[in-house]
Amino acid sequence: MTKQTLAFQAEVAQLLNLVTHSLYSNKEIFLREFVSNASDACDKLRFEAINDSGLYEDAPELEVRVSFDKDAKTLTITDNGIGMSAQEAIDHLGTIAKSGTKDFVAKLSGDQKADSQLIGQFGVGFYSGFIVADKITVESRRAGMKSTEGVRWISSGAGDFDVETIDRPARGTSVTLHLRDDSMDYASAWKVKGIIAKYSDHISLPILMEKEEWKDGELINAGEENGGRQPGGMVKTGEWEAANKGNAIWARAKKDITSDEYNEFYKQISHDFEAPLAHTHNRVEGSTEYTQLLYIPGKAPMDLYNREKSAGIKLYVKRVFIMDDAEALLPTYLRFVKGVVDSADLPLNVSRELLQESRDVKAIREGCTKRVLGMLEDLAKHDKLPEVAKPAEGEAEVVTDVVSEEDKAEAQANVGKYSKFYAEFGAVLKEGLGEDYGNKERLAKLLRFASSTTDTTSVSFADYKARMKEGQEAIYYITADSASAAKNSPQLEVFKKKGIEVLLMTDRVDEWALNYLQDFDGTPLQSVAKGAVDLGNLLDETEKKAAEEAAETFKPLLAKLKEALKDKAQDVRVTTRLVDSAACLVVQDDGMSTQLARMLKQAGQAAPDVKPVLEVNAEHPLVKKLEGSVHFNDLAHILFDQALLAEGGLPADPAAYVKRVNALLV
């Protein structure tokens, strides 16, 4: 290949513009990204060499080397990993390979903190090099290719890059950063070693730097100036030494690992800039032996709801990297979890297909799932500080529990963490109700909702049960497109009148998920928009009698309404659930809701034509006016369409609806 100049993908050009204007608030993070990429390249070679040992060529020992040249103003990170072909360099360095969508750029706002998190989540840390460099040169050769098939990639981050074929005897990749004048402190051993120790100490590969030693200045004929010597300085010796400890963090004892080390390892594997909410580190022994180090992130990635995206945790076998995103190790609804599993039992040549069938993997999957749910339960338990009942006047305080200062501090540190988690991942967690039958009850206890009595998404099923009125036999809920639509739904009117709390469910997944959860701790769940409302003992005898009389009195009118709306409504009946509204729509107990049918159609999926039941309020003036009205047919259709609008739907024929309303207004 002769030298070519190619344009960056449009998303990359915009990204580089942000990066070169000091997007990252912490500049040194770039070195973590490059060392991490180099380590990943070595891991990938190790994995591919399981089936082709020739890929090691004449260098079986994998390593990363970091060097600098103050005179040339460069910092170079070199690995002898898998390397890149010319086309891979174009594809990987010229595009945002992990996004595959313009949604990435649409999210970039110019806010430094928010945008730096996005960049980390999309794995494009390579471009962080332009924070400290005004030019980056990449030289690489893929393992197994000829030395004449190396590639050189050069860019100044201005919108295009040059690429050409070179002769490169060594496999792997060298990235040379041509440092800006204001970033020359990264061309010093103490600075670089400090960053490596801070961010990359856990990487199991040796990260080598050239040793330096102090050399005294030479004697000069300059009288007493400088003691008759040239100034001394640090000089490279030509020997290389490890700048990291090289211990896999998950293989170390928990007592020897600080919280900062745990957090830095999470940031390295997740490319996140925030610390995780929680982690669990365990060695599991028994019929299946493995070590797990799993993290709950604090923020959701942009593609969280893409169930087709590869997601999962890193799999190692006896410290040998096998694969990223080993989705078989956790169920799909826990795809937000980051971490590492290191198995002592799996074969080194395990494939994704074998993972699906392995009994050991199933045991690991179950163990990891239980650990993650345990972390979430612990966060939920400490989400709020316990309320301590004050003794009544004149009574002595009774000490029921002794809590250490450390326990108090830990509880205080965890306050609000579960609320933060749920705001980011709650909708995904609900998918587990349909996917993980064995843990359905544990998941149900972790769910949180807003309700008709609170605006925050903080009410659990257990909280609701504890507040149920005497005689209440069900947990009532409503699904809607938004919190305001749910809270103002006509179907809630009688519940508000009676002071009965109703859970408001506004996530798109809610109705699907609740098909798999019919009750909580023995108490049935009842949608207020399904079936005839039955408040049982919560209705007094006078109300029950009035409802029965209204149903009998309105029989002729109901029959007439049913005939007028036979193409729209399955049935028409009098209801006790309405107080201020004239009508509402419900479906049969076992029917699909109109909201779910709408959602399926909007997603391009097949959905049945749902014919709802129209319920009317016999006490409402508009309903009373229907009888004997010359505009009966128009009023009947308006009543139905208004009920549809109130629940967030649209009339099948909006123009006809407007025409009818206008005619009556005139």
How would DSSP label each residue in 171-205?
A: -EEEEEEEE-GGGGGGSSHHHHHHHHHHHSTT-SS
Q: Is 416 exposed, middle or buried (0-12, 13-18, 19+ CB in 10 A)?
A: middle
Q: For residue 264, which of 283, 284, 282, 244 has the smallest C-alpha distance?
A: 244
For residue 188, CA distances in Å to 28, 66, 193, 235, 493 come to 13, 11, 9, 11, 71
Assigned token pair, 538: 């919560």
The residues that bridge with 172 in the sheet, in sequence order, are: 141
Residue 394, helix vs strand vs coil: coil
Looking at residue 106, its amino acid is A
Each residue's pLDDT tens digit, 294-349: 999 998 887 777 766 667 788 888 777 777 778 889 999 999 999 999 998 887 66
**Sign, CA torsion 599/604/605/606:** positive
CB neighbours of residue 139 within 10 Å: 22
Helices marked H in 287-436 — which ranges?
A: 352-357, 359-381, 405-414, 417-429, 432-435
- 565-588 burial, b at 16+ Cβ within 10 Å, e below that, comes to beebbbebbbbbbbbebbbbbbbe
Assigned token pair, 315: 């799999």
What phi, psi does 163 have (nearest 5°)?
A: -140, 140
Which pLDDT belongs to residue 322?
Answer: 76
**Sign, CA torsion 224/230/231/234:** negative
Assigned token pair, 209: 């730097």
Query: Does the pLDDT value for residue 635 go beyond 60?
Result: yes
- 471-480 burial, b at 16+ Cβ within 10 Å, e below that, comes to ebebbbbbbb
**Sign, CA torsion 456/460/463/467:** positive
Higher-pLDDT residue of 291, 270: 291
Task: Give yes or no for a contact between 460 and 447, defined as CB atoms under 8 angstroms apart.
Answer: yes
**Sign, CA torsion 652/653/657/658:** positive
Higher-pLDDT residue of 198, 415: 415
Query: Does the pLDDT value for residue 117 go beyond 50?
Result: no
* Rounded CA separation 12/630 (Å): 66
Q: Is 88 exposed, middle or buried (0-12, 13-18, 19+ CB in 10 A)?
A: middle
Taken as a whole, the chain contains a residue count of 666
287 falls in which pLDDT band (50, 70, 90)?
A: confident
Find where tokens 């690991």 sit: 364
Which pLDDT belongs to residue 534?
Answer: 64
Domains in the chain, please, with CATH?
4-220+235-242 (3.30.565.10), 249-381 (3.30.230.80), 448-665 (3.40.50.11260)
* Rounded CA separation 302/100 (Å): 12
Can you tell me the mean pLDDT for 154-182? 92
Higher-pLDDT residue of 310, 494: 494
Which pLDDT belongs to residue 457?
Answer: 86
DSSP-derived pairing of the beta strands 64-69 and 172-179: unpaired
Which pLDDT belongs to residue 97?
Answer: 41
Task: Give yes or no for a contact between 553 and 495, defined as CB atoms under 8 angstroms apart.
Answer: no
Q: For the ranges 44-53, 223-232, 362-371, which has the lowest average pLDDT?
A: 223-232
387 falls in which pLDDT band (50, 70, 90)?
A: low
Query: Does the pLDDT value for residue 115 go beyond 50?
Result: no
Q: For residue 627, which of 570, 571, 575, 550 has the smallest C-alpha distance?
A: 550
121 falls in which pLDDT band (50, 70, 90)?
A: very low
DSSP-derived pairing of the beta strands 475-479 and 503-505: parallel
Assigned token pair, 250: 């998950």
Highest averaged pLDDT of the listed ranges 284-288, 372-376, 592-596, 638-642: 372-376
Which pLDDT belongs to residue 6?
Answer: 84
What's the whole-number average pLDDT of the chain?
Answer: 82
Looking at residue 598, its amino acid is R
Assigned token pair, 655: 């123009």
* Rounded CA separation 561/438 (Å): 47
Which pLDDT belongs to residue 62?
Answer: 94
Q: Please give the DSSP secondary-structure letter assigned to residue 23.
A: -
* Rounded CA separation 68/209 (Å): 9
pTM: 0.68
Task: Give yes or no for a contact between 301 and 271, defined as CB atoms under 8 angstroms apart.
Answer: no
Each residue's pLDDT tens digit, 440-490: 999 999 999 999 988 888 899 999 999 998 888 899 999 888 888 888 888
Task: Give yes or no for a contact between 336 and 294, defined as CB atoms under 8 angstroms apart.
Answer: no
CB neighbours of residue 363 within 10 Å: 18
* Rounded CA separation 276/262 (Å): 9
Each residue's pLDDT tens digit, 187-213: 999 899 988 887 777 787 899 999 888
* SS3 sequence of 546-607: HHHHHHHHCHHHHHHHHHHCCCCCCEEEECCCCCCCCEEEEECCCCCCHHHHHHHHHCCCCC
112 falls in which pLDDT band (50, 70, 90)?
A: very low
Query: Does the pLDDT value for residue 278 go beyond 90?
Result: yes
Query: Does the pLDDT value for residue 230 go beyond 70?
Result: no
Which pLDDT belongs to residue 411?
Answer: 67
Each residue's pLDDT tens digit, 147-166: 999 999 999 888 788 999 99
* Rounded CA separation 235/211 (Å): 8
Query: Does the pLDDT value for residue 116 go beyond 50?
Result: no
Query: Does the pLDDT value for residue 24 go beyond 60?
Result: no
* Rounded CA separation 280/367 (Å): 12
Task: Give yes or no for a contact between 636 and 565, defined as CB atoms under 8 angstroms apart.
Answer: yes
Assigned token pair, 408: 């108090």
Give the max Cα distance, the chain. 122
Find where tokens 């670089």 sit: 192
* Rounded CA separation 426/356 (Å): 27
Q: Which residues contact 655 (CB under 8 A, 6 or more apart)?
A: none
Each residue's pLDDT tens digit, 92-106: 887 654 433 344 445
Higher-pLDDT residue of 384, 450: 450
Task: Give yes or no for a contact between 164 and 157, defined as CB atoms under 8 angstroms apart.
Answer: no
Which pLDDT belongs to residue 553?
Answer: 82
CB neighbours of residue 274 within 10 Å: 16
